[in-house]
Amino acid sequence: MNAYTSRRIAPLLLFAFLLFLATSTAREAAQPDTPDQPHLRSASESTKWHGAKQKASGGNEEQQNEVAESVKEATALLRKVKPPTVSKLAHYTRKPKGFLGTSAYYAKEAFVLLFMGTPNQANLLTTSASTSSSSQPKLAPPLSRAVKLLQEAAQLGDADAIFLLAEMNFHGNFTHPVSYPQAFQYYKQLADLDGNSTAQYMLGFMHATGLNPDVPSDQAKSMLYHTFAAEQENTRSQMTLAYRHHAGIATPRSCDEAVHWYKRVADKAIAYYRSGPPGGHVLSKDSYSLANDVRGVYGEGASVSSAGIHARQGGVTSDAYADAEDVLEYLHLQSSKKDLKATFGLARLHYDGSRGMKRDLRVAKQYFMQVAREYWSESGKIRKDVPGGTEKLASKAAGYLGRMFLRGEGMEQSYSKARIWFTRGLANGDALCQYSLGLMHMQGLGVPQDTAKAADFFSAAADQDLAVAQTNLGMLFLDQGDVVTATRYFELAARNSHIEAFYYLAELNNQGIGRDRSCGVASAYYKIVVEKAEAVWASMSEAYEAFEEGDEQKAIVTYLMAAEQGSEMAQANVAFLLDHTKPKWSPIAWLLAQNRNAKTAVGDAALALIYWTRSAKQQNIDSLVKMGDYYLSGLGTLTSPENAAACYQAAAETLQSAQAMWNLGWMHENGVGIDQDFHLAKRFYDQALETNREAYLPVKLSLFKLRWRSWWNDVTHGGVKSMGSDEAPAKRRTFAEWLNDFLEADAQMYAQEYEADDWGRGEEEEQQRMMGSDGGEFWDAEGEIDDDGLLETLLIGGLVAALGWLVWYRVQQQQQAAEERRRREGVEMGGLPPVPANAEAQPQQAPEAAHGQQADGGFFPQPGDPNWGAWVAGGVGH
């Protein structure tokens, strides 16, 4: 069957499956660029400026007033623009949940993909249709009128109008279509007009990332604009400069410069923290690792760094739990069974909020009250005959209730009521109560100021390892000039990652107080301080919301800003979103990825590689392995198996990435980028399995194949170091010797087989042991397959089968096209030699003749083969 027919038929197959859903599936009603009102053509949307510095003629007040008036009118008009309404269906399909939700979601994706001729999303940033300057979007009436007014005002040099237009073009406010070239021009106009630092920052950002396709990225200009803006106290530019000096990006590494800029932002971060109610602003963490949603960039279990020992750490409020609802439900159930711990947990969950769940202080108060009332009656008397342990939980609840009164959270601020609760909890030695009373005495809140008393309270709480109390105690010691004791307390508090403790440690290191000055430590600590106060410099929650709503472009750009400012989490997220090679977690997404791959030029991949690299440099092991993948398959860079091997080796050395170990094993087996060596190959395969049990199947398969190859190598006296022993020097053999070799090698192979079996049994026992004892948790966490999940899996499986061969054909076809394109681009880009696009051109085939190396037997796809990335990446852990 030829490829053309396959392309026709496969969608039809799918269509049959999806029909019932597809009929009810519509594209989201209100997409910004397809308003359904009658269109009015914006008159001068593309008007270019002739002379950007055209200013309002000075002194003409009347005219200025007029301009201000029209800007006001435009703003009023804009307020009338309704935000895009999200249809019920869209809401339903936004986030796959349960069986129906998931299928609807996939149905929509597949439908749009296959039948709607959806705009190609390849290169979200570099070639997306909406970023091209040539498009002339039609605007809905109120918007177009407002834009027109603003444009007139902008031409007369009204800063507010220019700024608003720039923002609308950049962020797409008021449903205005996004146009980076337009935004760039407006920002440039504004920066030239009055040196507005926000505009300068934006220009710096756009120059750095090449977001505007008309202006290629230029790091020198970027540094220039960021420096201008930073000098004018633009926080984001300050952070960008700090990070660039810290990591040596586009400028030589300079610790002093990094500290200089980081300190300026850290001062703001601390000021922000302290500007809050007693006890400081809540520093909510809105940056989530998107990869964690799918249990790491390589899927579940592929890497300890993403899904092993680091996964599911922390309490119920940790973001390791993607679905707060499940936790809530469980706690509700337990709580209704009079489980006081669960009630307290509910209270904490509502008080702290968590990912996917906003803080709800009112509800939190109710639950805290419920817990406290178990121990204290309405009149404050201690109840008799309470079960053991109640007083502890009740005191904790009292601490929180007091805190809420002290800070006026969810209720009116009342120092006296706060004090009552704290005093109650104090009787049972609750740390939060101790600390809070200390705080009241230190700042004289509702009580006379008394530093000595405060120190006593803090000290009691600090002994219970309450970080914030330790910091405060440290501050008191520092006031007394006892730097040594103060430092000790700061270091204790820093273990629990308290922002002020890091700040003081950074200051002490920076100024060399009580120690030698250490610039490196200072900048690292300042960086931590700064990054804890996300609210000061980033809009992480905005990015996450955009991602949740499926607005990938907005999510990427927003994360990109934070990534430029040095946030590792954001860097990994940007790379993750730009990464088209990922073994996607859904077949449709995978299909999309295949589709994109074919159309992807250097653009996104190069950008993704940059951020994988930056994230890897900040100790993200998964990103390091990803870097290796990109080098291996020549994505966004020239193919370099050596670099790939170096990345994998560095990652494997941390003993955290089973994926890296497996890859190294594979490279040793096939002699890609490193010497072919079956012995080492086995070692790495084994290590991968040791690191991660879920790698069992792929590792076993690989070992099986390796064993045969090693055996064949022994028999034929190949040049590769065998898997078993140190090899004997090759010599010409008699037939008898050959036979002997054959038998020995044979025996060796069986010995290994046996050994392996033995070992396999050991593992089974191990698993049984785990199931038997505390294994409940193990299986709860990993093996939970409810009915929905099972059905889902089956259905998805069917879908994959239906789509699989379609994709295969497409890939085959598009490979050629992609290579052609890449070659052409290589030529267009001048300096770069054409990048070999696929396996056939890759070097690991070349040495085969020369060194007597074995070519891969073909058990697995070749690197560079589009299947390879998906296979390798999906292989371990699934």
Ligand X SMILES: *[C@@H]1O[C@H](CO)[C@@H](O)[C@H](O)[C@H]1NC(C)=O
| Stretch binding ligand X (CB under 6 A), from 193-201, 299-307, 464-472, 653-661 | 193-201
As given in the structure block, the two tokens for residue 87 are 């249809």
- Check: CB of residue 864 under 8 Å from CB of residue 631: no
Question: Min. distance of Cβ 68 from ligand X in angstroms?
Answer: 11
- Please tell me the distance from the alpha carbon of residue 772 to that of residue 766, in angstroms, as a whole number: 10
What is the DSSP annotation of 813-841?
Answer: HHHHHHHHHHHHHHHHTSSSPPPP-SGGG
Closer CB to ligand X, residue 133 or residue 173? 173
Shortest spacing between CB 110 and ligand X, in angstroms: 30
CB of 198 to ligand X, least distance (A): 4
In this complex, which beta carbon is closest to ligand X, that of residue 482 or of residue 542? 542
Q: Exactly one of 144, 196, 240, 289 binds ligand X (CB under 6 A); which one?
A: 196
Instruction: Tell me the helices (H) and strands (E) count for the chain, helix number first.
Output: 40, 0
Contact between 167 and ligand X (CB under 6 A)?
yes
- Smallest gap from Cβ 192 to ligand X, in A, equals 13
Stretch that binds ligand X, among 86-94, 195-203, 386-394, 419-427 (CB under 6 A): 195-203
DSSP secondary structure of 210-249: T-STTS---HHHHHHHHHHHHHTT-HHHHHHHHHHHHHTS
Cβ 838 to ligand X shortest distance, Å: 40
Query: Is the CB of 160 or the CB of 218 nearer to ligand X?
Result: 160
User: Hey, what are 59's tokens?
Assistant: 């002194």
Please give the residues from 397 up to 436 whose contact with ligand X meets the rule CB under 6 A.
none
The distance from CA 777 to its chain's CA centroid, rounded to whole angstroms, is 27
CB of 165 to ligand X, least distance (A): 10
- How near is the Cβ of 542 to ligand X at its closest, in Å? 6
- Exactly one of 97, 171, 488, 700 binds ligand X (CB under 6 A); which one? 171
Minimum distance between the CB of residue 172 and ligand X, rounded to whole angstroms? Answer: 7
Decide whether 197 or 722 has the Cβ nearer to ligand X.
197
Site residues for ligand X, 541-560, by CB under 6 A, read 542
DSSP H/E element including 559: helix 552-564
Tell me how far apart the alpha carbons of residues 531 and 268 are, in angstroms, rounded to a whole number: 12
Specify the residue, 163 or 630, whose C-beta has the smaller distance to ligand X.
Answer: 163
Cβ nearer to ligand X, comparing 491 with 545: 545
CA separation, residue 619 to residues 20, 77, 568, 654 (Å): 47, 49, 9, 10
Q: How far is the CB of 200 from ligand X (least distance, A)?
A: 9
Cα–Cα–Cα angle for 223, 229, 233, nearest 5°? Answer: 130
Find the part of the chain contacting ligand X (CB under 6 A) among 167-175, 368-376, 407-415, 591-599.
Answer: 167-175
Residue 434 C-beta: closest distance to ligand X, Å? 41
Beta bridge partners of 158: none
- Rounded to the nearest whole angstrom, what is the least distance from the CB of residue 197 to ligand X in the complex? 4
Residue pair 156/587 in contact (Cβ under 8 Å)? The answer is no
DSSP 195: -
- Note whether 633 and 864 are within 8 A (CB): yes
Beta carbon of residue 164, minimum distance to ligand X (angstroms, whole number): 6
Which residues are paired to 237 by β-bridges?
Answer: none
| Torsion sign over Cα 309, 314, 319, 324 | positive
At closest approach, how far in Å is the CB of 444 from ligand X? 37
CB of 554 to ligand X, least distance (A): 8
- Compute the least distance from the CB of residue 159 to ligand X, in Å: 4
Cβ contacts of 273 within 8 Å, gap of 6 or more: 280, 281, 283, 499, 500, 533
Beta carbon nearer to ligand X, 167 or 856:
167
DSSP letter, residue 647: H
Amino acid at 167: E
In the bound state with ligand X, the residue whose beta carbon lies nearer, of 199 and 404, is 199
Cβ distance to ligand X smaller for residue 30 or 447: 30
* Binding segment toward ligand X, per CB under 6 A, in 194-202, 339-347, 410-418, 461-469: 194-202
CB closer to ligand X out of 173 and 451: 173
Q: Which C-beta is closer to ligand X: that of 22 or that of 164?
A: 164
Considering only 197, 235, 571, 748, the residue that binds ligand X (CB under 6 A) is 197
Q: Between 187 and 630, whose beta carbon lies closer to ligand X?
A: 187
- Cβ proximity to ligand X: between 534 and 865 the closer is 534
Minimum CB separation of residue 163 from ligand X in Å reads 4
CA distances from 478 to 278, 496, 504, 506, 513 (A): 20, 20, 10, 14, 11
Q: Which residues contact 529 (CB under 8 A, 6 or more apart)?
A: 266, 269, 270, 499, 502, 503, 506
Nearer of residues 167 and 677 to ligand X, judged by Cβ = 167
Instruction: Please say whether the beta carbons of 665 and 659 come within 8 A.
Output: no
The one among 198, 487, 581, 663 contacting ligand X by CB under 6 A: 198
User: Which of the ranges 11-19, 191-199, 357-365, 562-570 carries the binding residues for ligand X, by CB under 6 A?
Assistant: 191-199
- Name the minimum Å distance from CB 241 to ligand X: 16
Question: Rounded distance, CA 467 to CA 495, Å?
Answer: 8
Site map 505..544 versus ligand X, x via CB under 6 A: -------------------------------------x--
Q: At 89, list the tokens.
A: 């269906």
Binding residues for ligand X, rule CB under 6 A, total 11
Shortest spacing between CB 173 and ligand X, in angstroms: 4
Per-residue contact string for residues 700-739; x = within reach of ligand X by CB under 6 A: ----------------------------------------
Q: Are 607 and 125 in contact (CB under 8 A)?
A: yes
Which residues, at least 6 apart from 697, have a Cβ–Cβ distance to it below 8 Å?
none
Among 709, 636, 631, residue whose Cα is nearest residue 673: 631
The only residue of 87, 135, 173, 428 in contact with ligand X, by rule CB under 6 A = 173
Tokens read off for 42: 């914006």
DSSP bridge partners of 139: 40
Start-end of H helices in 374-463: 390-407, 415-426, 431-443, 451-463
Binding mask 127-166 for ligand X (x = CB under 6 A): --------------------------------xx--xx--
The answer to whether the CB of 199 falls within 8 A of the CB of 191 is yes
Considering only CA atoms, which of 877, 215, 287, 203 is closest in space to residue 576? 287
Q: Which is nearer to ligand X, 287 or 303 (CB)?
A: 287
Contact positions with ligand X (CB under 6 A) in 346-365:
none
| Closer by beta carbon to ligand X, 146 or else 837 | 146
Stretch that binds ligand X, among 190-198, 281-289, 370-378, 648-656 (CB under 6 A): 190-198
Q: Which of 140, 873 has the CB closer to ligand X?
A: 140
Window 20 to 79, contacts with ligand X (CB under 6 A): none
Nearer to ligand X, 534 or 669 (CB): 534
Distance from C-alpha of 493 to C-alpha of 501, rounded to nearest angstrom = 6
Site for ligand X in 742-761 (CB under 6 A): none
The SS3 of residue 541 is helix
User: Which residue matches tokens 């797409």?
Assistant: 172
In the three-class reduction of DSSP (H, G, I as helix; E, B as strand; rest coil), residue 468 is classed as: helix
Please tell me the distance from the alpha carbon of residue 484 to that of residue 495, in angstroms, as a whole number.
17
Residues that bind ligand X (CB under 6 A): 159-160, 163-164, 167, 171, 173, 196-198, 542
